[in-house]
Amino acid sequence: MTKSSKVASLIEELTRLAESGRPGDRLPTTRELATRFHASPVTVSRALSELAALRIVRTEVGSGTFVAPRQRPLDPDYSWQVVRLGTAGIDARRVEPLAATRGGADLLQLSWGFLSPDLQAGDLLTRAGVRAARRPHAWEIAPPEGTPELRRLFAASMGADADDVLVVPGSQSGIGLVLRTLAEPGDVVVVESPTYPGAVVAAQSARLRPLSVPVDGEGLRADLLDRALDETGARLVYLQPAFANPTGITTSPARRAELVRVAQRYGAFLVEDDWACDLGIDGSTPRALFGESADGHVITIRSLSKIAAPSMRIGAIFSRGPVTHRLRAARAADDACVPAPLQAIASEVLASNDWGRHVRAVSGALGRRRDALLAALSEHLPGMAPAVRPAGGLHLWLRLPPGVRSAVVVDAARHRGVLVGDGAHYFTDEAPGEHVRVSFGAATEAELEAGVRVLADVVGTVR
Ligand SMILES: Cc1ncc(COP(=O)(O)O)c(C=O)c1O
């Protein structure tokens, strides 16, 4: 057991001990507790300090440690809030999977939008963290738009100008910022169908109305987008041109050009979620759409959370023209700055010689995992082979056989220890069929094969 897990388990034991006593009861001495729980006195002291901070125990210097008075709530009545708040704007059903953590080691994680810890840039981040913490003025405030160093690095990766870059704490935050800054409550925001549920809840949070426009094998349908913008006057279109979540579709070059033309015709912004820009597998990662609109119709959002680690909450919004000032002002209104030490870590990592190696290693591993998943599907679930073999990203989009409900499959698979994504969460209105999303970033090849076996069993049973 590591030192910190010893402290954590001792905290649990001591909490139980305190809860079994009455307020004011004296706890045994540190030495007695150390003997009883087979821990060192230092570990006991650390556990007791944490319990004191949690107000479970109270320490009196020279007298000992006592069970603290319990802080019992008085059974408050919150029912007035139910009436006052009215109907919830954000669809909690969609938030739940977004807010999920990776889950226990006993689960096969085939529904996770990040990399498994073995593929994350843990060592690189740790080394960068040490260097960042040693920088002079490491804890000073940073400009609200981000440090000049990090903005330059992001700009270089995009072939953009540093002035076009606004640093944000991850792309979810960036999507929310763009949507609520550039549209008014009640406005329509066009989204692809199916789309990333995080964009839908960001739109809902900004009191916008998401309007679905279907995709085909080449990306968002430009003819239908034209009609949607004409009919609604919407000025925002949220889309993922590369390795879309959940479909894996990459927008074709011809379609990209058409979409930019439609945006120009209606004076709309294409909000490009380029979340998978570092997750190309087959060496064919498309350039961001940002480069295809010199006149500012494309706003691109990128993030390091996918390629580095989920808690690397650093992203960037790329934009041109007056909209950049609007976004910068809105960001400053939100928060003083993205924590400077985190920006320094990002800069250290992006500038390091090992970064390219890390990106290539992830690409290779994702390729092997994707292929293992495809192979397992063609062996165990041949009827459910995906329509798209994604050239990057993390997900496969699978259509269930007729009559099989996604919610039933997801539940049954979870009962058997396998997590897959419910396709219903990716549509904002009537879903054209039942789907599950199966992700290959967080499971090993063997786990993917084991997960697909269970999925095949489940689909066969619930059919
Ligand atoms: C398509 C897409 N966009 C954005 C995000 C949010 O990423 P971040 O961790 O940078 O907030 C996710 C995360 O799952 C995603 O799948």
DSSP 277-304: TT-BSSS-PPPPGGGG-TTS-EEEEEES
Would you say residue 1 has pLDDT above 60? Answer: no
Q: How is residue 403 annotated by DSSP?
A: T
Would you say residue 4 has pLDDT above 70? Answer: no
Pick the atom of ligand 1 nearest to 98's CA.
14
State the residue for tokens 């934009």: 319
pLDDT value of position 425: 94
- The mean of the pLDDT values for the chain is 94
Measured distance CA(274)–CA(285) in Å, rounded: 11
Confidence of residue 249 (pLDDT cuts 50, 70, 90): very high
pLDDT value of position 360: 96
Ligand 1 contact via 241 beta carbon (within 6 Å)? no
Instruction: Tell me how many degrees the CA angle 2-3-7 measures, rounded to the nearest 5.
Output: 115
Pick the atom of ligand 1 nearest to 175's CA.
4
Q: Which residues contact 223 (CB under 8 A, 6 or more apart)?
A: none
Confidence of residue 125 (pLDDT cuts 50, 70, 90): very high
Would you say residue 99 has pLDDT above 90? Answer: no
Ligand 1 contact via 245 beta carbon (within 6 Å)? yes
pLDDT value of position 101: 73
Measured distance CA(269)–CA(238) in Å, rounded: 9
From start to end of 235-340, where are the E strands? 236-239, 269-273, 298-303, 315-318
Would you say residue 3 has pLDDT above 70? Answer: no
Q: Kindly report the protein residue whose alpha carbon is nearest to atom 13 of ligand 1.
A: 113
Q: Kindly report the protein residue whose alpha carbon is nearest to atom 2 of ligand 1.
A: 275
Instruction: Tell me how many degrees the CA angle 155-161-163 measures, rounded to the nearest 5.
Output: 100
pLDDT tens-place string over residues 41-77: 999 999 999 999 999 999 998 889 999 988 766 678 8
Query: Residue 152 Cα, ligand 1 centroid: separation in angstroms?
Result: 22
Which region among 70-84, 337-351, 387-401, 406-420 has the lowest average model confidence (pLDDT)? Answer: 70-84
Query: Residue 275 Cα, ligand 1 centroid: separation in angstroms?
Result: 6
Confidence of residue 447 (pLDDT cuts 50, 70, 90): very high
Tokens of residue 412, six digits:
């049954």
Ligand 1 contact via 154 beta carbon (within 6 Å)? no
pLDDT tens-place string over residues 168-179: 999 999 999 999
Q: Give the rounded percent of residues in the chain with a pLDDT score beyond 90.
A: 87
